[in-house]
Structure 1
Amino acid sequence: FVAPRNPTEMRLAAIWAEVLHLDSVSVTDDFFSLGGHSLLATQVVSRVRKAFDVELPLRALFEAPTVAALAARVDAVGRGDLSLQRPPLVAVPRTGPIPLSFAQQRLWFLDRLQPGSPFYNIPSAILLHGGLNLAALERAIQELVQRHEALRTSFHDQADGEAVQHIHPRVEMSVPVTDLEGVPEATRETEALRLAQLEAQKPFDLSQAPLLRASVLRLSEQRHILLVTVHHIVSDGWSNGILTREVGELYGAFSQGRPSPLAPLELQYADYAAWQRGWLRDEALSQQVSWWRGQLSGAPHALELPTDRPRPPVQTANGGTLAIDLGAQLTAELRALCLREGVTPFMALLSAFQVLLARYSGQDDIVVGSPIANRQRSEIEGIVGFFVNTLALRARLTEKMTFRELLAQVKETTLGAYTHQDVPFEKLVDELKPERDLSRSPLFQVMFALQNTGRSVGPQEDGDAGVLQPMQVDSGTAKFDLSLLCGDYGDDIGGLLEFNTDLFDRGTAERMGKHLVSLLKSAVNNPGQSLWRLPLLDEQERHQFLVSWNDTSRESHAVTTMHGPFEAQV
């Protein structure tokens, strides 16, 4: 352990300890070997901005991954090498019409095209262990809606055709309960999942607040499922983590007769929307778009994966999901590779996924979409709203490229995209004007995501250390042809392969999942191997292809006449 030696190192070490949830940090410790990843690196950069009044690119933490090295960078910036490029984010008055953010504007437009669609519902199911205090839960949900303006916001047309958001002073919430104790125990869980899926598919009317629903399924006296559905226009994946955590804290406090333990919020999503509209224009927008224009110039219009059925003329949203699990051993091997190569698990998994797509499609130029939290400022980390942005990450695979070389390329591409993540995807599509095809989404048709937010734990009634256990709800939709949606839970990485059921059979998705795991095992164990020689087949498939399907021997019968073989064939 090497203690901080100057004020810059002291402040940086304190920031690292806060972000990584450690008691202390040595100035020689590597950020990523301590458990850091891109999302936590973004939080470090936002705190550095606030503490030192300097602007560091995310790349700086990858290039200087120790407190000592980063402190030298910060001191250099402090001498005037870089300057702040963005205006401060401050609260705006609520006296006039409040604009939508760019992302909200796109969802508003899509909702007008397909009103009543559940396509952008975000469903959550949380298993509650222990007795349920319904009054405390309803009060917690009500407090949550009052705390976050986005949850009591509705959206309306103005006379000029522009949409505005209206924040209601208060909306009343109720949490209805459906009792399933009368359902036979053998089918109770199945019925609960069916009801959860029905709830997930109920549409919202964006002109009616709140754009959040909550209900409870009672399985037994000690087991309940809390269903929460929110529209994407006011929330995102990070926000769902906030909602789960805060409802747990509020429920625990209200169950024990205590007041809310949550500190008031200084900013709300409407403040962010106004800030984004204010600075991301003219030269600031042009600089950001210019990088993306160069990055995506000449990218293919479509990823031509082999499908089980012809592609419908208009893109559909019918979907299914398939579980993917790397297991503890492969996860540990993946982490070891990442530390050796100076990349994150996100970059390594994205590389493997892009190789799989290249091998299936026969293309060597692959563009994959990936959501990014887009919370680059510490002031907005605790706000519920639609902050998430989407990045188009391109990989160009050459004939002799190894997996190690692809990792280096993906790292550079990803860090560049992080630096230019401020351009909303909707704005990027408007600026680049890609060839439009109603049967496909623009720029990419396949998505990859890795959630690093961990598992959600919250207090229960009577102070029990019970778990608010998130459950997977299959909404029956797919926004893209394929989506690999992973979660990093520490000891293991797992998740879902979401596929469009109008294109792919479940059996095809299952093979893709198996091939991805096989490819990743080979790449982790031999990153110097050619991308095109990394095996996709596991031992069972290899035996089937090479042995079982080639076992074509037949018993031979002696023939004594010239016409005998013809007669036998007939």
Structure 2
Amino acid sequence: MATDTHPSSAALQEELLRRARARRSARPAEPAPAARDQGPTQLSHAQRRMWLMDRLGQGGSLYSVPFATRLRGPLDLAALGTALTTLVQRHEILRTRYGQHGDEPFQETLPAPDAFVVPVVDAVGDGVAALAEEARRPFDLAAGPLPRALALRHGPQDHTVLLTFHHISIDGGSLETVAAELAELYAAAVGGTPCGLTRPPQYADFAVREHAAAGRLDEGLAHWTRRLSGAVPLRLPRPARPAADLTARPAAVHSTPLDEQVLPALRELGLRHRATLFTVALAAAFAALHRFTGEDDLVIGCAGTHREGAAMRDLVGLCVNTLPIRVDLSGDPEFGALVDRVRDALLEAQQYRDVPFDLVLERLGAAARDADGTPLVRVTADVLGEPTALRLPGLAAEPVDVPLGEAKFDLSFGLSDTGRPTGLVQYGRAALDDAAGERLADGFAGLLAAVAVDPELRLSRLPGGPPALPAADIPPTDGHPAEVLLRAHPLVADAAVPAPAGGPLLAYAVLRGTGGPSPVELRSHLRAGLSRELVPAAVTLLDAMPRTADGTLDPARLPGAPAVPAPSGVRADAVTAAFTALLGRAPGPDDDFFVLGGHSLIAVQLAERLRTGLKLPLTGLDVMEHRTPRAIAALLDTRETERERLAAATGTPAARTRRTREGTVLVTGGTGGVGAFVLRELAARGRPVLALSRPESAHLIAGEGVEVVEGDLTDLDGLRAAVGRADAVIHAACTFTRPEVDVAAMAAMVGSWNRGPFVFVSSVDAYGRPTGPRVAEESAPEQPLSAYGQAKLDCEQLLMRAAGTGGRGGASVVRSPIVWGPHDRLRDQLRWGATGLLYQAALAGEPMDLPRPGTAGHDWYGAPWVHAAALARAVTDCLATPVHGVANAVSGHVGWPELAAELKRLLGSDSEIRLVDRVHPDLDHRWHYGSGRLATALDERPGEDLHSVLDAMTGSAGR
């Protein structure tokens, strides 16, 4: 236990309160926000943690924040879309992207969207599955995780509205602000009146202030270092045989209703001990964990907040921090005395709540992590109040829980303070099996009920206890007889007796629970069942058996194992060099990453360096779990073997030189709607593909014949290297909102292009706004050009100037209009722009206002479109037959009345189509584009007509 002691005394509490008041009064007044440069800024500590989790490979849906409300009544979806548009415009954090410059991340505000459309889908059953599927869709932090909206229609006046945020941009306190502002903005939109909301504080200003105050953290860091000295991550009785299909963080929840009198009794108990209900619930969590594990020295995490002062009022952003509460439960105290200990520890922790927990972990180093890299806080506790709901005027609102099925921590205790009180326990199924989790939940609920009646009960008399130990279910093994006998022991989860390498015979065991036989008892057990020569000289207990990626024992990582020669070879040398470069000293083969000073960011950097240099998959989590150069090198050796095995099975060369395979095509934008169809077309033609993708998206495009290379448009070195490996390029990626990035990326790619054809998927926006109604291929651009159109034109000119020089092949610029097709990314057309405007109006049964012919002096209004499959055929044809210039890819032209009528028919809508004497900006299109050069590839195939593609898109969108 730490040197700090916690006597339960009123005097200590008064002293802690006095210190807290003194610290608060000593703080300088919050400065007025300085004029912040609108360019990239640093991340706050909390944002940095979220960014690191994403880069480590713990992204996915783990940090999605779903916010769902069942709304009954006449919901105005257009007004809700207007309210959301204004909300995102008001709060920069809701339209912020997260990039990386060198080793450091940054945040950058994106332009506000012109319109935010709420898609509507019909509910199937209760709709929970659809809500969970939408909430689990991952965010792309580098692109800017805009909030997502979805309306689930149960009936004409019955909807569930789901807003999904990424945790990097929002916390629980922010949801209250978001809900309140949306209610006001919605009321203003419905009534057609201005909204009186004042300009809110911006989160980037908070991040700037936080960094400016970093020098004040030294005292707090010193405190936490002393307070947590000697604390170790809690050992939970992990499942001996986790199910094969479980990922790292699948969650289970057990809830137990409590008697109505429990909460009032717990509040009264808190009053007697000058403690809040949360403090009492936290004490109950400590007691339940003590009963379950038998441990006296425990750490439980709780959420702290930075929301303090006027500058933080109405701030939307991530303002939370983890407070590690450490309590000594020794001496079998009464529960009331435990409440005193927890109260004092909590008050003390609150004094230093502004110290980011990540910095504390870095200061503590390896001592604060388990063998698998898991940090000190594995258990949390909270009191759960009434969930936030979106309460719109004129509608009845009911909050809806959207389960994501993932656990951020191994174990979480909760006490519900709404309706009928409930005790809850959530756990990761990789941390506890269901039987143990259910026993712990029942013990926690029983403990709450017991102390509500008699708070003088000592811990030893409280409900709960260690999990029941299952009978041995380990299949027979052909290992050493001592290993077989150890595995058969009912209290042993795993065992190993490696063949001796010139030394004594040694045994290793992992127990099922935290209590169990000692090494001496296990050796006595072996001596009773084996002849003398088969009994190991010693039995060593381990938290986990060290194993390689394929599950076999890793003898080099066993304590007491004879010295093993240092690993050698290209991969081992690369690992040692990366450790040396990033940690500042050359490591031994078995030196621990965290002992050497490593932490989360360095793990990310080390993984990126090795992944890039060796072209093998490796994540920051791999580094944190394997920890030593020997273990990481062995993991990389295993992955190289797996790649060679796969190459032998598929006939693909594993050892790659400058080129992957003869004729390889580099494709950018493969995870987008256009790029996905290009990949399908190339696969159908048997062309090998090198696909550029960020690591978090690689699984979306990996497949037979496709080699994924890590990178994006901001990684210029990665782009150059990828182009250098390919025999042809199809550049289909685009940022849409960052023209300077698009142009820089094209310049880098053209600079490294030295052979074969290059096809660029451009846009008809590069023509600008021609004066005539018909536009021939390669017509000169006419002003004004949008920033997007100008960037496309700049990229085209870079490409065409380089074509045919220095061994380069022919260049083709394929300008496309609106792209339609059955793909998730292309269905965004149903949310934005002209298609989205008309689709949403038809879906809601609202009037569809179209410009009357002749308005503003123009007779025709509509837009060209192309089916994604036809565009992919045209682009792929350009590899064999470059156009050496500009060609248009157009499947047809559609007038707004025709499109509106088709959407009405497909949706069964009763919307009125009205011709008006004005032009909505999204409908201000009036040009026909010629497309003679690619006519053959663009010939319509079955399912590519206007009706079929719209039917596929709207039908797949969930009508």
TM-score, scaled relative to structure 1: 0.73
Amino acid at match of 1:167: T
Q: 2 CA distance for matches of 1:228 and 1:102?
A: 25
1:308 aligned onto 2:239: yes
Shift in Å at residue 155 of structure 1? Answer: 0.8
Structure 1 window deviating more from structure 2 (82-91 vs 440-449): it is 82-91
Q: 2 CA distance for matches of 1:242 and 1:268?
A: 13
Shift in Å at residue 119 of structure 1? Answer: 1.7
Q: Which residue of 1 aligns with 2:132?
A: 197
Amino acid at match of 1:132: L
Which digits, 9 at most, give the CA deviation of each residue in 1:37-57, with x for residues without a partner?
xxxxxxxxxxxxxxxxxxxxx
Call closer, same or farther: CA 1:341–1:424 in 2, change over 3 Å: same
Which among 474, 479, 484 is matched to residue 408 of structure 2?
479
Q: Tell me, which stretches of 5 or more residues in structure 1 are unaligned? A: 1-58, 65-72, 542-570
Structure 1 window deviating more from structure 2 (503-512 vs 367-376): it is 503-512
Q: 1:180-219 alignment to 2 at 5 Å? A: 180=123, 183=124, 188-189=125-126, 192-219=127-154
Amino acid at match of 2:192: G
Percent identity between the aligned chains?
A: 33
Q: Which residue of 1 aligns with 2:110?
A: 168
Q: 1 CA distance for matches of 2:291 and 2:238?
A: 14
Indicate conservation of the 8 Å contact 1:311/1:503, yes or no: no
1:389 aligned onto 2:341: no
Give secondary structure in 1 for the equivalent of 2:260. helix
Call closer, same or farther: CA 1:428–1:92 in 2, change over 3 Å: farther
Amino acid at match of 2:463: P
Amino acid at match of 1:447: T
Indicate conservation of the 8 Å contact 2:68/2:160, yes or no: yes
Shift in Å at residue 477 of structure 1? Answer: 0.6
Indicate conservation of the 8 Å contact 2:68/2:389, yes or no: no
Q: 2 CA distance for matches of 1:316 and 1:455?
A: 28
Call closer, same or farther: CA 1:407–1:139 in 2, change over 3 Å: same
Q: Which residue of 2 aligns with 1:220?
A: 155
Q: 2 CA distance for matches of 1:103 and 1:330?
A: 36
Aligned residues: 451
Give secondary structure in 2 for the equivalent of 1:135. helix
Superposition CA RMSD, Å: 3.0
Call closer, same or farther: CA 1:259–1:99 in 2, change over 3 Å: same
Amino acid at match of 1:346: F
Give secondary structure in 1 for the equivalent of 2:340. helix
Q: Which residue of 1 aligns with 2:398?
A: 469
Q: Which residue of 2 aligns with 1:445?
A: 378
Looking at both structures, which has the greater relative contact order when contacts are Cα pairs under 8 Å and sequence separation is at least 6? 1
Which digits, 9 at most, give the CA deviation of each residue in 1:88-116, with x for residues without a partner?
35244124431101121122122122276
1:288 aligned onto 2:216: no
Q: 2 CA distance for matches of 1:246 and 1:103?
A: 24
Give secondary structure in 1 for the equivalent of 2:163. strand
Q: Which residue of 2 aligns with 1:156?
A: 99
1:94 aligned onto 2:37: yes
Q: 2 CA distance for matches of 1:331 and 1:306?
A: 31
Call closer, same or farther: CA 1:85–1:289 in 2, change over 3 Å: farther
Q: Which residue of 1 aligns with 2:432?
A: 504
Q: 1 CA distance for matches of 2:336 and 2:382?
A: 21
Q: Which residue of 2 aligns with 1:369?
A: 301
1:341 aligned onto 2:270: no
Q: 1:41-80 alignment to 2 at 5 Å? A: none
Which among 444, 448, 453 is matched to residue 520 of structure 1?
448
Give secondary structure in 2 for the equivalent of 1:243. helix
Structure 1 window deviating more from structure 2 (306-315 vs 119-128): it is 306-315
Call closer, same or farther: CA 1:253–1:96 in 2, change over 3 Å: closer
Structure 1 window deviating more from structure 2 (505-514 vs 268-277): it is 505-514
Shift in Å at residue 129 of structure 1? Answer: 1.6
Amino acid at match of 1:209: G
Call closer, same or farther: CA 1:341–1:291 in 2, change over 3 Å: same
Indicate conservation of the 8 Å contact 2:30/2:311, yes or no: no
Indicate conservation of the 8 Å contact 1:370/1:391, yes or no: yes
Q: 1 CA distance for matches of 2:271 and 2:240?
A: 42
Shift in Å at residue 63 of structure 1? Answer: 5.8
Indicate conservation of the 8 Å contact 2:16/2:348, yes or no: no
Which digits, 9 at most, give the CA deviation of each residue in 1:537-560, with x for residues without a partner?
9xxx9xxxxxxxxxxxxxxxxxxx
Amino acid at match of 1:532: S
Indicate conservation of the 8 Å contact 1:429/1:442, yes or no: yes
Q: Which residue of 1 aligns with 2:488?
A: none
Indicate conservation of the 8 Å contact 2:139/2:145, yes or no: no
Shift in Å at residue 204 of structure 1? Answer: 0.5
Q: Which residue of 2 aligns with 1:332?
A: 264
Q: 2 CA distance for matches of 1:109 and 1:123?
A: 21
Shift in Å at residue 348 of structure 1? Answer: 0.4
Give secondary structure in 2 for the equivalent of 1:195. helix
Q: 1 CA distance for matches of 2:243 and 2:55?
A: 22
Call closer, same or farther: CA 1:495–1:536 in 2, change over 3 Å: closer
Q: Which residue of 2 aligns with 1:274?
A: 208
Question: Moved runs in structure 1, 4+ residues, more than 6 A?
Answer: 59-62, 311-315
Larger-Rg structure: 2
Q: 1 CA distance for matches of 2:318 and 2:225?
A: 25
Q: Tell me, which stretches of 5 or more residues in structure 2 are unaligned? A: 1-12, 469-959
Call closer, same or farther: CA 1:307–1:112 in 2, change over 3 Å: closer
Indicate conservation of the 8 Å contact 1:309/1:502, yes or no: no
1:353 aligned onto 2:288: no
Shift in Å at residue 138 of structure 1? Answer: 0.6
Which among 192, 199, 204 is matched to residue 264 of structure 1?
199
Amino acid at match of 2:265: E
Call closer, same or farther: CA 1:460–1:244 in 2, change over 3 Å: closer
Call closer, same or farther: CA 1:250–1:356 in 2, change over 3 Å: same
Which digits, 9 at most, give the CA deviation of each residue in 1:109-167, with x for residues without a partner?
22122276222111121111212211011111111111111001111111x32111111
Indicate conservation of the 8 Å contact 1:434/1:442, yes or no: no
Indicate conservation of the 8 Å contact 1:86/1:279, yes or no: no
Q: 1 CA distance for matches of 2:197 and 2:72?
A: 23
Shift in Å at residue 379 of structure 1? Answer: 2.3
